[in-house]
Amino acid sequence: MNDIVLNVSNIGKHFGGLQALENVNLQIEAGKTHAIIGPNGAGKSTLLNVCVGRIKPDTGSVKFLGDNLTGRKPHEINQLGVARVFQTPEIFPELTLLRNVMVPAFAKREGAFKLNAFRKVDNEAEVRDEAEHILEDVGLKEQMNGLAGSLSRGDKRRLELAMCLIQHPKLLLLDEPTAGMSRHDTNRTIDLLRLIKERGMTKVIIEHDMHVVFSLADHISVLAQGQIIVEGSPDMVRGNARVQEAYLGGAHV
């Protein structure tokens, strides 16, 4: 049996009259890639929001390697080793790509607060080298001195992925990491995520693109109207009638 990295138990959350999540349970095993799929508005992003401290759940708790995440601030959760790529890219538009990736590296090295007002950024050769290396991995090295705000949506996403990867998180949460990408870039991202998996990083990935899901996932949970309706191996989910029904034939599973 593998260790459980993330343990989501009994999470419930409502917005006004809408029950966005209801009694959701999830166990993410170490080193595995766990996909969450489901139709639009199913509550997938809300579930990640609960995990990273953006939203307080009404009921239930989230445990990460023995630490309770519910009630913690986002920066505390990140410092414990959880990084996230958002559905709408959250980057630093006014900074260069290189700086975008160096800032998270400083957070990893220095913690939530450090007053280093007298060092020089340009002397941080180690961090810079690593940042360049990771930008190369995601295929953005040529643009590293350009401003992040001018990137295309797909490129912003890859940049955000680089910002997470430089922190070597214990758990990486990806919310539709390939949305808005060309086929070529999607395949490249799949390769990159496979490589990360070989290095043993645990991942949760939300994705509508079934090609991506079936290329990467070890385990799939299907969320519909705030509840997990099916859970199992990719093969099992692929043939499940309830999954077909939840998608109303909208996507070819």
Partner 1 sequence: MAQLWHRNDLLLMGVFTLAVLAMPLWLAPFGAGYPDLLQKLAIYGIFAIGFNILFGLTGYLSFGHAAFLGVGSYAAVWSFKLFTMNVLPAVLFGTLLAGVFAALIGFISLRRSGIYFSILTLAFAQMSYNLAYSVLTPITNGETGLQLTQSDPRIIDRLYVEATSGLPSTELFGLKMSGYPGFYFCAAILIIAFFFSVRIFNSPFGVKLLAIKSNQTRMGYTGYNTRPYLLVAFVISGMYAGLAGSLLAVTDPLAGAERMQWTASGEVVLMTILGGAGTLIGPLLGAGLIKYFENVFSAYNEAVLHQIFAMLPDWLQSAMVFVVNPFVGEGWHLTLGALFVLIVIFLPGGIMEGIRRLSSLVRRIIARSRRDGLQAA
Ligand X SMILES: Nc1ncnc2c1ncn2[C@@H]1O[C@H](COP(=O)(O)OP(=O)(O)OP(=O)(O)O)[C@@H](O)[C@H]1O
Positions that interact with ligand X (CB under 6 A): 15, 18, 20, 38, 40-46, 87
CB of 45 to partner 1, least distance (A): 14
CB of 8 to ligand X, least distance (A): 14
Per partner kind, with CB cut-offs from 5 to 8 A, the member of ligand X, partner 1, Mg ion, none near residue 20 is ligand X
**Token pair 């959701």: residue:** 24
- Strand extents, DSSP E, the chain: 4-15, 18-29, 33-37, 59-64, 67-68, 82-85, 171-175, 202-206, 219-224, 227-232
CB of 45 to ligand X, least distance (A): 3
Q: Counting contacts by CB under 8 A, is residue 241 touching partner 1? A: no
> Rounded distance, CA 157 to CA 91, Å?
9
Beta bridge partners of residue 224, listed in sequence order = 227
> Rounded distance, CA 249 to CA 229, Å?
16
Site size toward partner 1 (CB under 8 A) is: 39
Residue from 33, 167, 178, 202 touching partner 1 (CB under 8 A): that is: 167
> Rounded distance, CA 84 to CA 98, Å?
19
The site for partner 1 (CB under 8 A) is made up of 52, 73-75, 78-79, 83-84, 86, 90-95, 99, 102-104, 106-108, 110-124, 163, 167
